[in-house]
Structure 1
Amino acid sequence: MNLPPWHVEAWQRLQQRRRRESLPHALLLSGPAGLGKRDFLRRFVQGLLCQQSEDGEPCGVCRSCRLLAAGTHPDVIAVSQGLRKDGTQRSEIVVEQIRELCARLAMASQFGGWQVALLDPADAMNAAAANALLKTLEEPTPQTLIALVADAPWRLPATIRSRCQRIDFSLPPSAQALAWLQAQGVQAAAQALAAAGGNPGLALTWATQGALERREAVRGDLAALAAGRTTPLPVARRWQEDEPAQRLWFAAQAAADEARARADGSPPPLASRLDAETLQAWFDEANRAREALRGPLRADLVLFDLLGRWH
């Protein structure tokens, strides 16, 4: 398996536990989106269930591997935000889903080996769902692995986190991330890595999806607002229609760059009229606005309010 370098240590540690037959009954894979924790988990589960794996690597051809590839393995139960009765997507994992999962795990494995439950995103469980999962975490059945994946693990109750073996995926050193990106054929690797805040997986995705051009457009919009060449309303509408969360990420970066320039006594690159303290507050507000997009608030109003403060 060709692992990203920031996966190697966690992979080796988990494989050592598998060989010693001392795997935990629950794993929590956490860390920023883009670092490949879902790919890591998928590969590990394939190797765990493979009927002829070598050193934890799946063969890819046995019955178990074929069923996993088709998404029909009877001993793998995936739980995510389901659909409501009216067919719309839920925003959270609800208690009925967890009760159904626990009932499934109480039954015997159909292949006579491991049963694996995948909760992703686990941080989307509501309070009742998390409470329902606790009993199964406290009294696991033999050869059962419950794997939780969370981009924001702090949203999980401490009682859930404390009952899982945690695997944290953190940003690798910039030199390592840059070398990996260049090996993937990314041309503007340094620029992409800076845009993604040092996250190489995110940088790889963004480099091929027009995100770098979007980043420059955001900075242009903020500069135009600062100079009075435009007003918040058209900018808010434009951001709302095209990757608003990503644009807020880039806006927060721009505010941080502006604040650093103020602190260094250099001309601020966007020529904003905000002082360093106000820029720091605006940076925090931009990040809160990105979180607010996940909730019920209207995106256009969230964006308009934020951009009005910059203007």
Structure 2
Amino acid sequence: MSAAGFSPWQQRAYDQAVAALDAGRLGHGLLICGPQGLGKRAMAQRLAQHVLEGGRPAGEGRTAQLLAAGTHPDFQLVSFIPNRTGDKLRTEIVIEQVREVSQKLALTPQYGAAQVVVIDPADAINRAACNALLKTLEEPAPGRYLWLISAQPQRLPATIRSRCQRLEFRLPPRAEALDWLRRQGHDAAEAAEALDAARGHPGLADAWLREDGLALRRAIARDLARLEQGEAGVLETAQRWSDEHADARLAHAADWVLAQAGAGLTDAARLHKLATWFDAANRTRDLLRTTVRADLAMVELLRAWAGPDRQRAAHASRQSQESRE
């Protein structure tokens, strides 16, 4: 079966799972892992449709309609839920959610003979919830499937990982990724640039191309170069970076610095600076989620990148220009 709209890497993972399922080799627990943005959840939902239809060819029947509407009684997607005040989502999957999963899997399926629960992202399950989940994994019932989706499976306890079969998504070959990006309607040259910037990750490259992320990344690289060369000031740059795209700017900046560090540099001092600043950029992203003023946090971060000597040079250059005017 060809899953309409699937990328080649999604199709490969789907075919592998279906082959294991049809051969009776797909166990109760499945850990679907790999880089974020490769379509793991969509593949899991299509696989759930195959399971709930009893392996019959997928169509536009009742199962597909109920899954599309999110109302199939034998399928449950577990993710972040609102906090107690309801003003934002939790950042963890909590024990109450896992207990609901256990209760659901103890019930008789309403349609057919199978139930499927998908937890995404599984690496966000907190410690107490992991302990509860372990009991569910240790006591499987026939026709009950518990699938964990994770971009960081190493964050899951070894006791959880050891009780799950592993289905891994990997970055595709460059030629396949470029062909897929072109079929999404992207210009070939821009697709190649975005794919290289994303270090071979087609999902990330596609998102950047659709949301002007590539243009933002170019601007970030220019800003960092100008700061380092003393051609721009920290304060004005920090003010520009403290807009509604602040988190995206920092994500691009950290990723760009990481790419520079992996570009075959042999200068130990330069590598140390890149590694230190990469950590600082990620800490600043965390600060932006608090009540700290974004512009002040940006100033400290960008000052560390520019260094005091460059900033003194930039300040002197601006004063000289102002005196001439």
TM bucket (normalised to shorter chain) is 0.7 to 0.9
The residue type paired with residue 276 of structure 1 is: R
Partner of 1:232: 234
Partner of 1:86: 85
Partner of 1:31: 34
Report the Cα distance in structure 2 between the residues aligned to 1:262 and 1:65, rounded to whole angstroms: 49
Structure 1 residues 304, 110: CA separation in 2 closer, same or farther (over 3 Å shift)?
A: farther
Q: CA deviation at 1:47?
A: 1.9
Structure 1 residues 124, 239: CA separation in 2 closer, same or farther (over 3 Å shift)?
A: farther
Q: CA deviation at 1:80?
A: 1.1
Partner of 2:171: 171
The residue type paired with residue 270 of structure 2 is: A
Given that 2:44 and 2:118 are in contact with CA atoms closer than 8 Å, whether structure 1 keeps it comes out as no
Partner of 1:99: 99
* Secondary structure class of the residue paired with 1:285: helix
The residue type paired with residue 227 of structure 1 is: Q
Between the two proteins, the alignment pairs up a number of residues equal to 299
Q: CA RMSD, aligned part only?
A: 2.7
Larger of the two Rg values belongs to structure: 2
Structure 1 residues 172, 104: CA separation in 2 closer, same or farther (over 3 Å shift)?
A: same
Instruction: Write out per-residue CA displacement over residues 172-222 of structure 1, whole angstroms, 9 at most, x where no aligned residue.
Output: 122221122122221011011122221111111211111111011101211
Report the Cα distance in structure 2 between the residues aligned to 1:201 and 1:260, rounded to whole angstroms: 21
TM-score (normalizing by structure 2): 0.82
Structure 1 residues 135, 256: CA separation in 2 closer, same or farther (over 3 Å shift)?
A: closer
Q: CA deviation at 1:298?
A: 4.4
* Secondary structure class of the residue paired with 1:40: helix
* Secondary structure class of the residue paired with 2:30: strand
Given that 2:281 and 2:301 are in contact with CA atoms closer than 8 Å, whether structure 1 keeps it comes out as no
Q: CA deviation at 1:130?
A: 0.7
Instruction: Write out per-residue CA displacement over residues 212-259 of structure 1, whole angstroms, 9 at most, x where no aligned residue.
Output: 110111012112322334343443443343444432343234435655
Q: 2:222 aligns with which of 212, 220, 223?
A: 220
Given that 2:227 and 2:233 are in contact with CA atoms closer than 8 Å, whether structure 1 keeps it comes out as yes
Once the two structures are superposed, the pairs formed by residues 238-253 of structure 1 within 5 Å of their partners are 238-253=240-255
Structure 1 residues 241, 31: CA separation in 2 closer, same or farther (over 3 Å shift)?
A: farther
Partner of 2:271: 277
Report the Cα distance in structure 2 between the residues aligned to 1:290 and 1:148, rounded to whole angstroms: 30
Structure 1 residues 244, 156: CA separation in 2 closer, same or farther (over 3 Å shift)?
A: farther
Partner of 2:304: 309
Once the two structures are superposed, the pairs formed by residues 1-311 of structure 1 within 5 Å of their partners are 1-2=3-4, 3-50=6-53, 53-54=56-57, 58-60=58-60, 62-88=61-87, 89-187=89-187, 188-256=190-258, 258=260, 263=265, 275-282=269-276, 284-285=278-279, 288-289=282-283, 292=286, 298=292, 300=294, 303-311=298-306
Report the Cα distance in structure 1 between the residues aligned to 2:262 and 2:154, rounded to whole angstroms: 29
* Secondary structure class of the residue paired with 1:84: coil
The residue type paired with residue 13 of structure 1 is: Q
Deviates more, 1:274-283 or 1:4-13: 274-283
Structure 1 residues 254, 293: CA separation in 2 closer, same or farther (over 3 Å shift)?
A: same
Structure 1 residues 284, 75: CA separation in 2 closer, same or farther (over 3 Å shift)?
A: same
Given that 1:118 and 1:148 are in contact with CA atoms closer than 8 Å, whether structure 2 keeps it comes out as yes
Report the Cα distance in structure 2 between the residues aligned to 1:299 and 1:148, rounded to whole angstroms: 37
The residue type paired with residue 147 of structure 2 is: A
**Unaligned residue ranges in structure 2 (runs of 5+):** 307-325
Given that 2:250 and 2:285 are in contact with CA atoms closer than 8 Å, whether structure 1 keeps it comes out as no
The residue type paired with residue 100 of structure 1 is: E
Q: CA deviation at 1:29?
A: 1.2
Percent sequence identity over matched residues?
42
Instruction: Write out per-residue CA displacement over residues 71-126 of structure 1, whole angstroms, 9 at most, x where no aligned residue.
Output: 10011122111112211321111111111221111111111321111111111111
Report the Cα distance in structure 1 between the residues aligned to 2:293 and 2:202, rounded to whole angstroms: 28
TM-score (normalizing by structure 1): 0.85
* Secondary structure class of the residue paired with 2:118: strand
